Amino acid sequence: MNAPLPTAQLRQQLYREMDPLNLTPLWEVLHALVPPEPATLCVPALWSYDAVRPFLMRAGEAITAEEAVRRVLILENPALRGQSAVTQSLYAGLQLILPGEVAPSHRHTQSALRFIVEGSGAYTAVDGERTTMHPGDFIITPSWTWHDHGHEGDEPVVWLDGLDIPMVRFFDAGFAENNTSKSQKVSRIEGTSFARYGHNMAPVRHEARFGATSPIFSYPYARSREALECLERDAPVDDWDGVKLRYLNPLTGGSPMPTMATFMQRLPAGFDGRPWRQTDGAVYSVVEGNGEAVIEGRGNSWRFAFGPRDHFVIPSWHTARFSSERGCVLFSYSDRPVHQALGIHHEERSS
């Protein structure tokens, strides 16, 4: 009789011999699979606009919008290089369009948001309606709607693209199609969607043409800024968020897109915020003013001094706090609606 194998050897032999059958033992990975708390690979990162802008302009010389289809520099999380992802679930990029250019019409199941960073006069067309871009506007491209971008103005226009590309890739649910015409035909005058849905009113009879997505294509900055200013003046300021509003789908009261929530917040002058953390990783675009974000997670800490047009990402379950000496305005987006739909959203506010 052979002596029984020592345990370690017994296990190694088991693993080795079942490996060709694509079998692997749970007990070796259980702790990492079901961690005691979120342990994201993502790291916080800041893209200073001063550093990024020259490369965007060089991209403008290196390729046309038409040839590129979308002339975008992707903001990649430093810990996820090569994956076109700013968090595990979200994509971020800065898109440039120059006067006279057209980014040709296509559609895809991925939802997109545009947050205008620099310049005016470009438009995005969705479903036959054009929307002119101004800095600070938040514009939506609903899933599976034809969209093209164009520019009849006279200065470079840059916007932040926020898409759910990694999420749709995770579900292997992506479809895309090119249009036969470069620019889709205009079939509705500009402002129609806003007139129908943008005034706390809605048509008496309407169909939800964009499914779970807001029928408002553009949420103009003038309106969001006015709301924040009024609240900063006349309402209590939150110790963690300053004055923060979420954008709405007026037909549901939920987020403007099923996969992404969007926010605009103002930190008043002298704001010294308390720390919080939440499971939805978020991407920020600085609209106005300066401030500082201190972020801690997984044993490291980061301190980002930010100014207008800078972008940064706060990953899941990283503790963050904001401060601003002279006040600032921040736009942000995250995958919160999905966390909420799954019942796994967690948030913690510390004193």
The binding site for ligand GTQ (CB under 6 A) comprises: 70, 72, 93, 95, 108, 112, 147, 161, 163
Q: Report how far residue 269's alpha carbon sits from residue 344's, in angstroms, rounded to the nearest whole number.
A: 34
160 contacts 73 by C-beta, under 8 angstroms: no
Closest CA to 283 of 311, 245, 257, 264: 311
Least Å distance between CB 101 and ligand GTQ?
Answer: 13
- Closest CA relative to residue 115, chosen from 282, 229, 250: 282
Tokens of 255: 């987020």
Nearest distance from C-beta of residue 137 to ligand GTQ, angstroms: 15
Tokens standing for residue 150: 């164009």
Closest distance between ligand GTQ and the C-beta of residue 69, in Å?
A: 8
Smallest gap from Cβ 177 to ligand GTQ, in A, equals: 11
- Minimum CB separation from ligand GTQ for residue 171, in Å? 17
User: What count of Cα atoms within 13 Å lies in the side-chain half-sphere of residue 81?
Assistant: 1
Length of the chain, in residues: 351
Name which of 143 and 193 has its Cβ closer to ligand GTQ: 143
Closest CB to ligand GTQ among residues 69, 202: 69
Closer by beta carbon to ligand GTQ, 168 or else 267: 168
Judged by beta carbon, residue 84 or residue 265, the one nearer ligand GTQ is 84
Residues 6+ apart with CB under 8 A from 210: 127, 142, 143, 145
Based on CB atoms, which residue is closest to ligand GTQ, 139 or 267? 139
Q: What residue is closest to ligand GTQ based on CB? A: 161
